[in-house]
Structure 1
């Protein structure tokens, strides 16, 4: 019984990985995100030594593009769960794999498997560019600090992708999911942080910020990286759970 379940899970995971890696929009999104990050890293790096940014660490400059970079991973997560609804392929999927809870769980696991290395590569590319260009003018960083920060940035982008995928599974349409998530990340959350500073850290993107970016000395109500990770993970797990419940109950 256990061996049969393991084979079932492995086959479903393999099928979801195959669908994901053969979806052209996934690689176009990742390539576009990588190019955007390099361009932004070049802009932030060139601006860094000219002013106060010249005294910042290489990590701060290299990861300054994260606020824009996350948009690519939001799109990636939405595409992973909404693409099958566009042409009605979801019916074929559910006919072939009727175990809906397993199917969506394996889709999200496959998405994480693809996202983690790509998130690390893209985040590290900005840091590497900054290091190559301004290593003589910025403070040199410790290797362990670099690893921890890049791990945090990778975790942040991965959780952003999974959260977006869960919301995409709930809404089942690409455009509404994009409007909701991009609207929250780039409009609603920044406004709420200004008007409700006391509760800003409960928002997933704000809590996730502390996963990779050390707080400045004048910040109040700051979170540790572990607390930020915990809050973001909680939001992600809640939305994944809700998405699976709805996915199992409603029609394709």
Structure 2
């Protein structure tokens, strides 16, 4: 005759107090807060300002923009030649062109470095909404890049205008001031944002930086070696829409007689960045971290 089996103990103790029970209920002292974009922005701001790569890349960027800009202005100011009525703000082009490589590098590192270190898993655990993470990185980086570029470009512009007064330079108009400071800062910030998106797609720092440096310089270099007359249209297209030429448009010193003009380079880089952002978002939602 079989003996009755004892009742199985409860697998998980019930901590919730029942009515009339002497066991008190437990309430966590930690408040439960519904997360939102503001929390993601605070997290990304903490990360971008606390890593050493941010200070190094932005520091070198400021040194290049200000150093080359003031050096070019001093060279012209101490020479016997004058600008012949040219816009003095155009001398800031060379520093920004070289400095843009620093912004590109920082943009890539903002996303790709987290995949290299595995930090992205912690980020996605803290904020499971991947679109929110990408949006927070985008907003924080864009604002940082824009503000730093604007401060450096405006300082160089005012310094060059004062240095070259009386050397045949014309007084820049309001539109030229706007394009040579805010316009060029928006372009550089969007270029860095495109680098951030490429870093999110490639997930490899060295590979994404190589792609962006190639995008910056390759069209112009390739066009310079297209001597055949049959390649004239291709050569002109590469020259007109190369990043250096689009950057020079903001200083009214376009490298070609045709191509983008006015504010068109800003709309071009904005459209390219928007398409790349949409692709990065779709891949981020589909791929594992």
TM-score bracket, normalised by the shorter chain, equals: 0.7 to 0.9
1:116 Cα shift? 1.4
Q: Which residue of 2 aligns with 1:54?
A: 83
Q: How many residues align?
A: 245
| Cα distance in 2 for residues equivalent to 1:244 and 1:205 | 25
Matches within 5 A, 1:201-216: 203=241, 205=243, 208-209=246-247, 212-215=250-253
Alignment of 1:1-252 (within 5 A): 8-49=36-77, 50=79, 54-55=83-84, 56-137=86-167, 138-186=169-217, 188-194=218-224, 195=226, 196-200=234-238, 203=241, 205=243, 208-209=246-247, 212-215=250-253, 219-252=256-289
Q: Which moved more, 1:125-134 or 1:154-163?
A: 125-134
Evaluate the alpha carbon distance shift between residue 219 and residue 10 of structure 1 in structure 2; reply closer, same or farther with a 3 A threshold: same
Cα shift readout 1:197-234 (whole Å, capped 9, x = no counterpart):
34237746257426512145x94323232322221111
Q: TM (normalized to structure 1)?
A: 0.87
Shift, 1:184, TM fit:
2.4
Deviation at 1:46, TM superposition (A): 2.9
> Which structure carries more relative contact order (alpha carbon 8 Å, separation 6+)?
1
Pick which of 228-237 and 135-144 moved more.
Answer: 135-144
Structure 1 segments unaligned to the other structure (5+ residues)? 1-5
Q: What are the superposed Cα offsets for residues 133-163 of structure 1, whole Å, 9 maximum, x if unpaired?
A: 2223132223442123211111111111101
- Contact 1:41/1:61 (<8 A) preserved: yes
Q: For the structure 1 residues 207 and 229, does the alpha-carbon distance in structure 2 shift closer, same or farther, using more than 3 Å as the test?
A: farther
Bigger mean CA deviation after superposition, 48-57 or 22-31: 48-57
Normalised TM-score (structure 2): 0.76
User: How far, CA to CA, are the matches of 1:199 and 1:47 in structure 2?
Assistant: 33
Give 1:120 shift.
0.3
Quote the Cα distance in structure 2 between the aligned partners of 1:226 and 1:38: 24
Preserved contact between residue 97 and residue 244 of structure 2 (Cα < 8 Å): no
User: Is residue 204–residue 231 contact of structure 1 (8 Å, CA) maintained in 2?
Assistant: no
Give the number of the structure whose alpha-carbon radius of gyration is greater.
Answer: 2
CA distance in 2, matches of 1:211, 1:170: 29
Q: Deviations over 1:29-68 (max 9, x none)?
A: 1111111222211331233343766333221113332221
Rounded to whole Å, the distance in 1 between the matches of 2:205 and 2:126 is: 23
Distance 1:135 1:64 in 2: 20
CA contact (8 A) 1:207 1:229 kept: no
Q: In structure 2, how many angstroms separate the alpha carbons of the residues matched to 1:101 and 1:176?
A: 23
| Alpha-carbon offset, residue 92 of structure 1 | 0.4
Question: Alpha carbons of 1:238 and 1:82: their partners in 2 closer, same or farther (altered >3 Å)?
Answer: same
The 2-side partners of 1:107 and 1:177 are apart by: 17
Structure 2 CA distance for partners of 1:207 and 1:43, relative to 1, 3 Å: closer
Higher mean C-alpha deviation, range 58-67 or range 83-92: 58-67
